[in-house]
Amino acid sequence: MTGGALRCEDIQVAFGGLKAVAGVSFAFEPNRLYGLIGPNGAGKTTLMNALSGHATLSGGKVFLDDRDITRLPIHARTRAGLGRSFQITKIFAGMTVLENLELGAFAHRHRVQPFWLPAGRFPRVREDAEKVLEQVGLASLAHMPAENLSHGDQRALEVGLTLLSDPRVLLLDEPLAGVGHDRLEQAIGLIRRVVAGRTVLLIEHNMDVVMQVSDAIVVMVQGQLLASGSPDQVKANPAVRSAYLGEDA
Ligand SMILES: Nc1ncnc2c1ncn2[C@@H]1O[C@H](COP(=O)(O)OP(=O)(O)OP(=O)(O)O)[C@@H](O)[C@H]1O
């Protein structure tokens, strides 16, 4: 698999008078992992929502492999190869880990939620779910109710749900949030594994982690791009240091 190229041109999202994203243009190159950083309220999640179709644009365009997807609804973007995880987990607490993945796999294959029958009855749905179960390292917990999972394992399941559509571009909104220090290395290992062959945009607040895993860093401040470059370039950028890292340039 090869990651897709994602490009946005002059993206704008406003909430009333607030310009949460105020004209962002950027080309994400295939097969690279981009860390999206910036202070609280900078517009990171809103930009991700704009790319995935979860926010209404007041201006701008989104392209996936040069195809204009600006007006495509969310499910059509998923079909086109764009996957998205959320800060707030969307798993069904009362179902087991495997059932959650089966439900997601069924919904992806058949475009409906199968509330009337066990999705795992369909062999290909079961296969899809079991493949992802292995990918995210949850095979031994397949039959555990999702509500009993640790924070870290819930995050892994959430990432797994996004992998069911085998996206070429993956947008990950804080997939490590709530993961304890003792599980962080394991969680980082998971991210590294699942992103192989994909283009990834990752929102992550832990600077050590984001600098460690990213090929490139994109910095947002007040709805706009402040800087982009390799982790070392961004760390050394005086504008980033003063505006974001809280240091004098
Ligand atoms: N649905 C909404 N309605 C109104 N304002 C919103 C909405 N979503 C976000 N905002 C505002 O838009 C701005 C950008 O928010 P956003 O969540 O995108 O920032 P962020 O960089 O992801 O922040 P954080 O790091 O805290 O998650 C903030 O001022 C926020 O309060």
39 lines ligand 1 (CB under 6 A): no
- For residue 50, the one-letter residue type is A
37 lines ligand 1 (CB under 6 A): no
CA distance 42 to 66: 27
Q: Which long-range contacts (CB under 8 A, 24 or more apart) does 65-69 make?
A: 65/4, 65/5, 66/5, 66/7
38 lines ligand 1 (CB under 6 A): yes
16 lines ligand 1 (CB under 6 A): no
Quote the pLDDT of residue 116: 54
Whose alpha carbon is nearest atom 25 of ligand 1? 40
Quote the pLDDT of residue 113: 58
Quote the pLDDT of residue 115: 57
The structural architecture, per CATH, of the domain 1-81+168-179+199-248 is 3-Layer(aba) Sandwich (3.40)
Ligand 1 centroid to 119 CA: how many Å? 36
| Most informative mutation of 44, 47, 86 for ligand 1 (most atoms within 8 A of CB) | 44
Quote the pLDDT of residue 112: 60
Report CA Rg, the chain: 18
- Look up the pTM and report it: 0.91
48 lines ligand 1 (CB under 6 A): no
Backbone φ/ψ region at 29: left (φ over 0), alpha (ψ -120 to 50), beta: beta
∠209-211-217 over CA atoms, to 5°?
Answer: 130
DSSP for 131-149 reads HHHHHTT-GGGTTSBGGGS
175 lines ligand 1 (CB under 6 A): no
In terms of residues, how long is the chain?
249
46 lines ligand 1 (CB under 6 A): yes
**Regions of the chain where pLDDT drops below 50:** 248-249
Quote the pLDDT of residue 249: 43
Domain(s) labelled CATH 3.40.50.300 in the chain stretch across 1-81+168-179+199-248
Residues 6+ apart with CB under 8 A from 182: none
What ipTM describes this predicted complex?
Answer: 0.97
Quote the pLDDT of residue 63: 97
CA distance 34 to 27: 11
